A and B are shown apart, each in its own frame.
Chain A
Amino acid sequence: MNLYLKLLSGSLRSRMQYKMNFLVSSLSYGLIMAVDFVLLAAILQRFDDVKGWNLYEVGLLYGISSVAITLYRVFCVEVHNFERYMVEGEFDSLLIRPVSPLSLLLTKNIDLSRIGGTIQGILILVISIIGLKLNNVELFLLLIYLPVTIVSGVLICFSLGLITATIAFWTQRIKDFQTFTLYAPFNAANYPMNIYPGWLKIIFFTVIPVGFMNYTPILFLLNKGGDLWNLALPPVVGIIFLCISLCFWKFGIRHYHSTGS
């Protein structure tokens, strides 16, 4: 823990050397997400709802999914940019330390410029909750549950990110895979799953289980269907998926031990 704090403060200080750049990039990253949501609002302002979900309800899904992926981008930046370690052969220097390479990656750096996206997501959540409150929706359980669904979302996102990173042991480059395994699914999870055709739904509830992160619990919390079990699913799926990704990562490292880069 002490080590983590040391690394965190180190990372912060090295970031702060480029203050202006840092401020601007965090602002602009948030801006892109904001415009995306404003456009959605523009559609829903005109057409009321999408398959029975109004703007504030979609906003909940949108906020949870955005906060989850941006928290991953902030705290797991080295896992996300793992490609570099393969392409530049820097993975060796992680294997000479008395600490596991994954803990080294997680503690090596944090990317604060992405925090703008997290704030944006939280803002969307706040707006949605206020909007729902004005419509007299019962929110007590939802507010209590919100941290659980966000943590589960980060777990699922981290697992997907780690699995994609592991692929780099074989392919070196993973940037194009990430669009497929992270960006596209998390963009899809901004909206309710019931709008998607069957085959997409199957993908989002199995191999890339982003549907469990927000859609499953919110469905129940907004009285749109499902039962109490819907609340247990996100953390369960998150933990199972985390285990799978850790196993795959271990397998990847064994492969690296025998082949090198």
Chain B
Amino acid sequence: MIQAQRLNKHFKIYETKKGFIGSFTSLLSSKHHIVKAVDDISFSVEEGEFVGYIGPNGAGKSTTIKMLSGILHPTSGEIKVGGLSPQKKRKEVAKKIGIVFGQRTQLWWDLPLRDSFDILKEMYKVPDEKYRQFLRLYDDMLQIGKFMDTPVRKLSLGQRMRGDLAAAMIHNPDILFLDEPTIGLDVNAKTSIRAFLKELNQNEKKTILLTTHDMDDIELLCSRVIVINHGKIVLDGTLEDLRKNIGLPSVMEVQYRVKPNTTEIQLEGIERMTWEYEKLVIDYDRSLLSSPLLLQNVTQWGEPVDIQMKEPDIEQVIQKIY
């Protein structure tokens, strides 16, 4: 469905000088350096795959998505989306893909959600019958019916994201690009959006490419992970491959009332334990040791007053790959 071959995107960064004269001369001078935002990457995604595309900020994720959707043209390399080049056939490709940018909405800010959908229906020339089906189906899946007549600016972030997702699906595209769809959402909203994406992928056989900073998104949704850093792909494989490479490091912090005098703790999966007065910090691998089992153990060692779980962020994960 998606093919990228030897894809490059270089940006020229012009040096700007300070001051009054400087701002004029920098218009004329051609002093610049080249930044390789995307550096010779190739991958292909088959129909029905759910791919997590992850990397730290500024790694080239958004640039790649912008090239796949035809917003930016690559410096060199070939892209095919649904068999077409987004560079040459931008409008045709636009009909085959749905895009969601988590950071900004594509809905009409002042209008009720329904009006946004009506406009998009016309834009993508969706037949009336298909449109009615769409509304029924997506009310089922995302419960958008409740706030269909509320202006978008009055929706909560979670509701707006559900609206945005539905809007991206209005023309029933086979391919979805999601740029951080769960950013800033609370746990409930994240759960409902994940359930929806899972359904799209499994029942409707949609091909999905997702960027995220949330490891849970990856774990719960993606059958395949592509990790990018400094414009290069550093890992392309299944979730298993990612696990093998880095494990799934988690951190549990246990605050005891009194520091227990247990010294020997032998559990497979624990990578490191450090004491800070009455607080025990445990780094462990979740694929080897389940959290409930560890929890059971720590409560046996002493009397905990507070237990906190911490998830590693993408930045830490990427560090581990090296």
Contact = CB atoms under 8 A, between A and B. Distances in A.
Chains A and B in contact, CB within 8 Å? yes
B286 interface: no
A172 B75 CA distance: 23
Contacts of B151: 14, 17
Given A258-B72, A260-B66, A96 B94 contact: yes
Given A98-B92, A258-B73, A93 B104 contact: yes
7 contacts: A17-B151, A96-B69, A97-B94, A258-B72, A258-B75, A260-B66, A260-B72
Interface stretch (B116-124, B137-145, B202-210): B116-124
Interface string A57-101: 000000000000000000000000000000000101101111110
Interface size class of B (residues with CB under 8 A): 20 to 34
B92 A95 contact: no
A14 B110 contact: yes
A2 B123 CA distance: 9
A10 B111 contact: yes
A7 B120 CA distance: 10
B71 interface: yes
A13 interface: yes
A6 B119 contact: yes
Contacts of A10: 108, 111, 115, 118-119
> Main SS of chain B's interface residues?
mixed
A13 B99 contact: no
A66 B282 CA distance: 73
Contact of A14 (B73, B104, B106, B111): B111
Interface string B49-81: 000000000000001001001111101000000
B92 to A, nearest CB: 7
Contact of B122 (A2, A93, A259): A2
Interface of B: 11-12, 63, 66, 69-73, 75, 87, 90-92, 94-95, 97, 99, 101, 104, 106, 108-111, 115, 118-119, 122-124, 151
A17 B110 contact: yes
Nearest to A258: B73
B119 A257 contact: no
> Main SS of chain A's interface residues?
helix
A233 to B, nearest CB: 36
Interface centre among A90, A95, A99 (most CB of B within 10 A): A95
A98 B119 contact: no
A3 interface: yes
Interface of A: 2-3, 6-7, 10, 13-14, 17, 90, 92-93, 95-100, 257-260
What 10 A-B pairs come out closest when comparing CB atoms?
A14-B110, A3-B122, A98-B94, A257-B73, A95-B71, A98-B91, A98-B95, A96-B99, A10-B115, A92-B71
A14 B101 contact: no
A93 B100 CA distance: 10
A6 B122 contact: yes
Contacts, number: 65
A257 B72 contact: yes
A42 B149 CA distance: 53
A181 B275 CA distance: 70
B119 A90 contact: no
B146 to A, nearest CB: 21
Contacts of B91: 98-100
Contacts of A90: 104
B315 to A, nearest CB: 23
A125 B99 CA distance: 49
Contacts of A3: 119, 122-123
Contact of A92 (B66, B73, B75, B122): B66
Nearest to A9: B115
Nearest to B152: A14
Contacts of B108: 10, 14
Nearest to A3: B122
Contact of B70 (A14, A95, A100, A259): A95
Contacts of B123: 3, 97-99
Nearest to B116: A10
Contacts of B70: 95-96
A106 to B, nearest CB: 13
B11 A259 contact: yes
Contacts of A7: 119
Interface centre among B12, B69, B90 (most CB of A within 10 A): B90
Contacts of B12: 259
A95 B90 contact: yes
Contacts of B124: 98
Contact of B115 (A13, A92, A97): A13
B114 to A, nearest CB: 10
A96 B93 CA distance: 9
A205 B111 CA distance: 43
A90 B92 CA distance: 21
Nearest to A171: B27
A237 B115 CA distance: 39
A98 B124 CA distance: 7
Contacts of A92: 66, 71, 101
